[in-house]
Chains A and B, each alone.
Chain A
């Protein structure tokens, strides 16, 4: 069994008036199926309100499934007895770097998670050092988080999750509030963790460029998973993506437009090198 498995997962936000009568029901997740194998890098794409953040909160047991079932690392999320196990196996990084750093010194913040799960003092120090090194923030360990840049803060947040040694990390739009440099830093750190430590990554985003290197992409719209496949498969369907109000990476879009104008360029070009190669091949054939 994979590390995350969802079957017909449904979640509804129910708004009630003062007497407790149901005013409106908004279905945020609609029969979602998800299978993630250990060690994979999964990207979940979707427009605002597509239910991707709601899905993330289920994986960390912050929200409970309305219907259907979800297993994280073999634990059933809807069973209250499993909450702490689930949260320990699936760490979560949120969007706003300021609102998830608890302590006023970097190393103390990274130690917060291990403290909560009762790790002995000596091991906490070891874990803090390892995690900060893994995200390249070791030399900032005694700094105040207020003096760090957005990308650095977000890397500290990732280290804080790493220190709990989860099998899987869910990142809910971790780069949405960062500048391009910060975005690169954070993504580099995440990819490194995936490759070197074998941590399963679920990256939730709406930046297409961040998806290109993923093993598998899920596209969500109105609470449903509407597309899934490798990045190449997903990005070869430019028009379908557009119907979900999503863009494709600029290179892919350029390749798509060229192809539409009659050039023999394959669908699903993801990188500049691939496009150059395709164009060179066309030039040679003339």
Chain B
């Protein structure tokens, strides 16, 4: 059962979004998140929603997969919503017992919820259409300039991809150790949270020992295959932009420009009509 956990949440499909260069998707997600938090006003959100829905449609990932991502943060959303609803100062709207809901509070809460939902759906669209390996490749390439100021970008990317490779192996191993300990009478289920945490020790100690041993073996195997850090390395699958990537960048900047334009129009209209 424990082995069924999948790493990342890649949804395999052959869509234009899947085929995009990971760097485009990384930058796109970043721009989208910023646009959500910087811009205000009804029109901006409509535009953000249109952009998101269009991207989802093109990616051919079922909408239910997006909503799955939302489930994970439902508690966070409820708390954020309640705080905004009750703790914002302003004109009272409804009031009962010690709580007062203001117009501004209701507006803030609604905005915040929409923002969070769009944020999660937007980022899960990226993880659903990009394999973890592409993601690390994309990160390595786009952060490459940082290596000039001494940030070990290649090493970090290598560590990430090795971690991804070993997560399923370590999960399997955890499963094995757990069964071995249970066969000798270990109890992982009963008791309160402290007792449960304590019961994990005989699980974690052998797991760590074996992880270190694996790391040692792996380092040796990598050295034996001439691994010598990032310098002088070539790439089997180098990232290079294609036509579709330039188009995607164009769409992205068009979106950003539209958002900025909307912002000015909105301020102008608000001033005009005294909203």
Task: Please tell me if B228 contacts chain A, counting CB pairs below 8 Å.
Answer: yes
Task: Please tell me if B227 contacts chain A, counting CB pairs below 8 Å.
Answer: yes
**B228–A94 contact, CB under 8 A?**
no
Task: Give residues of chain B (212-244) contacting chain A, Cβ–Cβ below 8 Å.
Answer: 214, 217-218, 220-228, 232-238
Task: Please tell me if B80 contacts chain A, counting CB pairs below 8 Å.
Answer: no
Chain A residues touching B, majority SS: helix
Selected contact of B220 from candidates A62, A124, A161, CB within 8 Å: A62
Task: Please tell me if B254 contacts chain A, counting CB pairs below 8 Å.
Answer: no
In this complex, the interface size class of chain B, counting residues with CB under 8 Å from chain A, is: 20 to 34
Selected contact of B214 from candidates A60, A99, A120, A164, CB within 8 Å: A99
Task: Please tell me if B139 contacts chain A, counting CB pairs below 8 Å.
Answer: no
List, in ascending order, chain A residues with CB within 8 A of B235's CB.
115, 121
Task: Please tell me if A160 contacts chain B, counting CB pairs below 8 Å.
Answer: yes
Task: Please tell me if B162 contacts chain A, counting CB pairs below 8 Å.
Answer: yes
- Residues 189-222 of B, flagged 1 when their CB comes within 8 A of A and 0 if not, give 0000000000000000000000000100110111
Q: A62 CA to B238 CA in the complex, in Å?
A: 30
Q: Which residue of A lies closest to B7 (CB)?
A: A104
**B221–A117 contact, CB under 8 A?**
no
List, in ascending order, chain B residues with CB within 8 A of A119's CB.
234
**A164–B225 contact, CB under 8 A?**
yes
List, in ascending order, chain B residues with CB within 8 A of A125's CB.
236
List, in ascending order, chain A residues with CB within 8 A of B223's CB.
62, 87
Q: A116 CA to B229 CA in the complex, in Å?
A: 8
Asked if A105 meets B133 with Cβ closer than 8 Å, knowing A84-B226, A160-B225, the reply is yes
**A116–B227 contact, CB under 8 A?**
yes
Q: A244 CA to B26 CA in the complex, in Å?
A: 61
Q: A107 CA to B236 CA in the complex, in Å?
A: 9
Q: A164 CA to B132 CA in the complex, in Å?
A: 26
Taking the closest CB of chain B, its distance from the CB of A110, in whole angstroms, is 9
**A100–B169 contact, CB under 8 A?**
no
Q: Which residue of B lies closest to A144 (CB)?
A: B168
Size of interface on A: residues with Cβ below 8 Å to B: 38
**A112–B164 contact, CB under 8 A?**
no
Q: A124 CA to B165 CA in the complex, in Å?
A: 21
Task: Give residues of chain A (151-174) contacting chain B, Cβ–Cβ below 8 Å.
Answer: 160-161, 164
Asked if A99 meets B225 with Cβ closer than 8 Å, knowing A116-B233, A121-B235, the reply is no
Task: Please tell me if B100 contacts chain A, counting CB pairs below 8 Å.
Answer: no
**B169–A98 contact, CB under 8 A?**
yes
List, in ascending order, chain B residues with CB within 8 A of A92's CB.
221, 224
Task: Please tell me if B35 contacts chain A, counting CB pairs below 8 Å.
Answer: no
Task: Please tell me if B161 contacts chain A, counting CB pairs below 8 Å.
Answer: yes
Q: A121 CA to B234 CA in the complex, in Å?
A: 7
**B236–A124 contact, CB under 8 A?**
yes
**B236–A104 contact, CB under 8 A?**
no
**A116–B237 contact, CB under 8 A?**
no
**B226–A100 contact, CB under 8 A?**
no
Task: Give residues of chain A (78-132) contacting chain B, Cβ–Cβ below 8 Å.
Answer: 84, 87-88, 91-92, 94, 96, 98-105, 107-108, 111-121, 124-125, 128
Q: Residue among B214, B224, B227, B237 with the most chain A CB within 10 A?
A: B224
Q: Which residue of B lies closest to A146 (CB)?
A: B168
List, in ascending order, chain B residues with CB within 8 A of A112's CB.
222, 225, 227
- A: residues with CB less than 8 A from B are 60, 62, 84, 87-88, 91-92, 94, 96, 98-105, 107-108, 111-121, 124-125, 128, 145-146, 160-161, 164
21 A-B residue pairs with Cβ-Cβ distance under 8 Å, sorted by A, are: A62-B220, A94-B217, A99-B214, A99-B221, A102-B218, A104-B165, A108-B236, A114-B236, A115-B236, A116-B225, A116-B228, A118-B233, A119-B234, A121-B234, A121-B238, A124-B234, A128-B236, A145-B165, A160-B225, A161-B225, A164-B226
| Additional 20 contacts, C-beta under 8 A, given A91-B225, A98-B214, A100-B221 | A87-B225, A88-B226, A102-B221, A103-B133, A103-B165, A104-B165, A108-B133, A108-B236, A108-B237, A113-B226, A116-B225, A116-B227, A116-B228, A121-B238, A124-B234, A124-B236, A145-B165, A146-B169, A161-B225, A164-B225
Which 9 pairs from chain A and chain B are nearest by CB?
Answer: A100-B221, A111-B236, A99-B217, A113-B225, A92-B224, A116-B226, A104-B165, A124-B236, A116-B227
